[in-house]
A and B are shown apart, each in its own frame.
Chain A
Amino acid sequence: MSPSFRRRVPRLLAAVALAASLVLPASAGAARAADKLVLRVGTTQDLDAMNPFNTALLVGYEVFTLNYDMLVGFGENLEPIPGFAASWTQSTDGLTWTFKIRPGMKWSDGRPATSEDARWTLQFVVDAVKAGKSIGLGYLDPYVKNAAITTVSAPDAETLVVTTSRPNDRVLSMFVPILPKHVWGSQTIDTIADFTNDVPVVGTGPYQAVEWKAGQYARFTRNPNWWGNRGAADEVDLQFYPDATDTMVQAFKKGELDYIRNPTADQFDQLKTLPGVTAVSAPGNGFSQLAFNCYDKDIKGGGASTKALRDPAFRDALAYAVDKQALVDKVLKGYGTVGTTQVPPWHTKFHVEPTNLRTFSIETARQKLDAAGYVLNDQGQRLDKQGKAITLRIYFPNSNADYPKVAQFVSDWWGQLGIKVKARGYDAGTLTDILLPPEADEPGAPGKYTANYDIELWGWVGDPDPNSLLEIFTTDSIGSLSDSQFSNARYDELFTLQNEAATLDARKGYMAEMQNIVYDQAPYVIVYNDNELHVYRTDRFTNWHNQPADGTPLFANGTYNYTLLQDATATPAPTPTATPVPGETPGPSVAPSATPAATPAPGGAGGSGGDMLPLLAGGGILVAIIALGLLVWRRSQGGPRAPEEE
């Protein structure tokens, strides 16, 4: 028989099994950084920029509010709380704000942080607004514009004086990070968009980015000079799972993540049954929309594929053929509400239901299309007025697992109208670029932006003030915020009126008309107000707070909640150092809360024994592979010229 060969196979299998068994128990305890407490947060969005002016994503706002302070922050109920400024007063005529900057405050690199930094930052934005330019993507300058800031000055290192052209308190809710002048000072409006703001970032926020791997993660370490309450986390890791929601959920279940934003509804339902897990479904201050490319001029090498999208009647007809309730039921599994206007019901003071509410009907949509002159040809294709069969491209970001499903439904409904739909997902940063029209081009470098899309399926998350969501449809926003390229003179006029309205009622009145204009003209079909679905573990961190009460702990407004977190393993422990005081007010409390060094390594399945074991196992496997490989190879190859051939 063949004893030698037969022996070899079991030997090989045994070696592999042995090697495998060595590596199995060893891996669990491998390289756990026991001396620091890390908050690990998973999100489906992939950070698009470390430069605050270049981000269009919620995760980008989270990142810059970790890195930097805004002049004034947001508290638990979205009230103004100290940020870069410790306190502030408003003059009796309401036009002058005086901010006091903390004496002795420092940037994370140890340089003094003074009113001059705040003055430089705000002045930079004021200058851009005056010059009619937008900074980077242009998402942040509207805050300064809408606050009507005219001058900024720093009479001394601890005082910042801001004057406005009319009395308003929007200066207290500006998402404008105060930047270190000694890092950013050499930037101009033309160069700032190219500034990558590489890690390690210098800021005054609670945590600064020290490492960023696009598509993977960004790591933030505690700011040694942070002036506020110290959260328990020594480090915050944001992990990005674009197009990989499943993996994110698995990592969360295993305990590799403490917090995840926006799993799918099915996953959320499953996760909320797990012990030690808190699931938050918060009515979102935002919505998801089908945004039509309404750009009304031809764009060389870009633009919409049909002029029909410029016609409100065409858009209105298509809006009839979107069954929003079905999307809420089947895609969101009820975690959301049917969407109507750009001011979500979350803004209870300002939301109105549209006067001419549409009811889903394919038949109505057909009739409206026929009436508007978009007829079917004999192959059943809907033609535009140039006689071309209409095919619409829907682009969505790959950061949301619901959008492919929505596109599928829409494709079916519009298919019944004779309109073909092609859907495709993109990296969020790339999609932002695709959406921009020529207005976003740098002067002298035309042709970069061509708004080459028909429909964008994406969403917005609003601020505590509805301005940012209203702004999207203004003519001025074309080239920055606008993803529909919608332009309407009356809307622009109303936007200014509501922003400057003296009373809440007056403001609401203008806003009601604005909501109806957008609904009727249909640059957007707002499909749903999706809930924010957040899930977190309570075994490592406690003292999670929602912001506001019916909101979410993280990815809210600013990063106040990070500073409230406490070490879950430290609280019940008898160790004397391990009782952090829940700092209700963000004051200069320097009390070292819960030094994790004093506590044993956080739990996990790990036996901590034998750091050498994995190495041995690994080495063993390698040697086994190589040796066996050589053995098999030499035997089989040596065959033909083997000397033993009798």
Chain B
Amino acid sequence: MGGRYLARRVLQAILTITFIILLNFLLFRMMPGSPERVLARNLPEAARAQLLVRWGLDKPLIPDQLVAYVSATLQGDLGESYKFRGRSVVDVLGERIWPTLILFGLGEVFAIILGLGLGAYSGWRRGGAVDYVGNGVSLILYSMPYFVIGMALLIVFSTSLGWFPTSGMYTIGASYSGLEQQLADFLAHLALPLTTVAIGLIGQYSILMRSSIIDTLTEDYVTTARAKGLTEGRILRSHALPNALLPAVTLVAINLGYVIAGAITVEVVFNWPGIGTLTVIALSARDYPVLQGIFLLLSVSVVLANLVADILYGALDPRVRT
């Protein structure tokens, strides 16, 4: 891959992140009430005084506060939580990020494999039985909000059939005899939210992949390949699929930005202790430091996801590398 392409993308990402940090700085200082009231609420006097110094909240906005904020942020100091008294924002976020990463990471993987597979097959066998059923199901899934899927799964597989626990990440207070038992408990709790996430995404991936494949199949190079006498399988694998994947990669990357919207509803339905439930808690508790942290975390991860998508795109399609 061209070094210039890569460098340009990375530079772009760094600029965006800088802008996000600035926005984050301004946003929470433009809110009504003094910044120390917004950011240092509910702190013991000593911690409050310490924060005032650390963030220079008693000094002018620019440059002192900005400099203090940027250097604090770069050092991983995001302030103190209001709701979770006595804990730093980094600490609170750190505890909550893994459950979300696992839930949505695995959910995406499932959805990508199943959704893209189903879409590709439907498009390839357009008008066939799989296409007919698959497309219909995909449309239904695509239009269903997460909480509907989640609640339905919860009622059927948890309350009625009793196969899975209703909520949480572990059985409360369980003592495990070993790692495998803990993992089993975790997987049992993970199953329903994970399925919800995957089902919610499969629909849209499959629909996109289907139309993308159909588009590609009408391209000249596919006709050429056919004329060269390649087998259908090879045409699909070597010519249609790689090109059809391009829009899918974009969609997946953009989707990462919407993950939080889904995360909130899925996590709330299953009381999954991730970033989504944390957002709800922080919002209703007006925990601005934590909200600020979530905002920063999410926007940076969207930028990074896009960067990865760009790089992947470059790998998939030589044309964009220039």
Contacts and interface: CB of A to CB of B under 8 A. Distances in A.
Interface string B77-94: 000000111100000000
A23 B117 CA distance: 23
A242 B277 CA distance: 11
A645 B225 CA distance: 10
Interface string B1-44: 00000000000000000000000000000001110010001101
B233 interface: yes
Contacts of B280: 243
Contacts, number: 206
Contacts of A637: 242, 315-316
Nearest to B86: A196
B173 A614 contact: no
B158 to A, nearest CB: 6
A40 B86 CA distance: 27
A640 B238 contact: yes
Interface string B83-112: 111100000000000000000001001101
A489 interface: no
Contact of B83 (A33, A429, A448): A429
A32 interface: yes
Given A2-B233, A216-B271, A429-B285, A645 B238 contact: yes
Contacts of B273: 213, 215-216
Given A12-B113, A38-B173, A614 B37 contact: no
B164 interface: yes
Contacts of B245: 636
Contact-residue size bin, chain B (C-beta under 8 Å from the other chain) = 35 or more
Interface stretch (A63-71, A78-86, A124-132, A248-256): A248-256
Contacts of A640: 238, 242
B51 to A, nearest CB: 14
A33 B284 contact: no
B72 interface: no
A64 B191 CA distance: 36
A442 B44 CA distance: 11
A28 B162 CA distance: 7
Contact of A219 (B44, B45, B173, B242): B173
A639 B239 contact: yes
Interface residues of A, number: 81
Interface string A429-449: 110010000000010010110
Interface in B162-197: 162-168, 170-178, 180-185, 187-188, 191
Contact of A31 (B171, B242, B268): B171
Interface in B266-285: 268-271, 273, 277, 280-281, 284-285
A235 interface: yes
A635 B240 CA distance: 12
B55 interface: no
A241 to B, nearest CB: 7
A447 B165 CA distance: 46
Contact of A33 (B154, B159, B168, B175): B175
A30 interface: yes
A614 B184 contact: yes
A215 B159 contact: no
A427 interface: yes
Interface in B284-317: 284-286, 315-316
Contacts of A215: 83, 273, 277, 281
Nearest to B47: A194
Given A250-B155, A639-B237, A640-B238, A239 B172 contact: yes
A2 B232 contact: yes
Contacts of A27: 163-165, 184, 187-188, 191
A412 interface: no
Contacts of B121: 5-6, 9
A26 B185 CA distance: 9
Interface in A52-78: none
B181 A31 contact: yes
B268 A243 contact: yes
A604 B191 CA distance: 19
B284 A398 contact: yes
Nearest to A447: B37
B188 A614 contact: yes
Given A31-B176, A639-B238, A425 B284 contact: yes
Given A219-B173, A617-B187, A629-B109, A430 B277 contact: no
Nearest to A424: B284
Contact of A611 (B181, B232, B239): B181
Contacts of B166: 247, 250-251, 254, 256
A246 interface: yes
A506 interface: no
B241 A636 contact: yes
Interface in A9-55: 9, 12, 16, 23-28, 30-33, 38, 40
Contacts of B84: 214
A617 B165 CA distance: 17
B254 interface: no
B259 to A, nearest CB: 18
Interface string A601-618: 000110000011111011
Interface string B45-88: 10000000000000000000000000000000000000111100
A9 B34 CA distance: 59
Nearest to B228: A646
B113 A237 contact: no
A2 B124 contact: yes
Given A2-B236, A237-B173, A254-B159, A611 B180 contact: yes
Given A254-B158, A301-B32, A430 B113 contact: no
A243 B83 contact: no
Given A219-B172, A628-B113, 15 more contacts: A1-B232, A23-B187, A28-B163, A31-B171, A214-B83, A237-B172, A243-B280, A247-B269, A250-B159, A426-B284, A447-B34, A615-B180, A618-B183, A629-B109, A639-B242
17 contacts: A3-B233, A9-B118, A23-B188, A31-B170, A237-B172, A251-B167, A301-B33, A430-B286, A447-B37, A605-B162, A605-B163, A611-B177, A615-B184, A618-B187, A625-B109, A640-B238, A644-B234
4 residue pairs, one from A and one from B, having the closest CB atoms: A614-B184, A2-B233, A27-B188, A31-B185
Interface of B: 32-34, 37, 41-42, 44-45, 83-86, 106, 109-110, 112-114, 116-118, 121, 124, 151, 154-155, 158-159, 162-168, 170-178, 180-185, 187-188, 191, 230-234, 236-239, 241-242, 245, 268-271, 273, 277, 280-281, 284-286, 315-316
Interface of A: 1-6, 8-9, 12, 16, 23-28, 30-33, 38, 40, 194, 196, 198, 211, 213-217, 219, 235, 237, 239, 241-244, 246-247, 250-251, 253-256, 301, 398, 425-427, 429-430, 433, 442, 445, 447-448, 604-605, 611-615, 617-618, 625, 628-629, 632, 635-637, 639-640, 642, 644-646
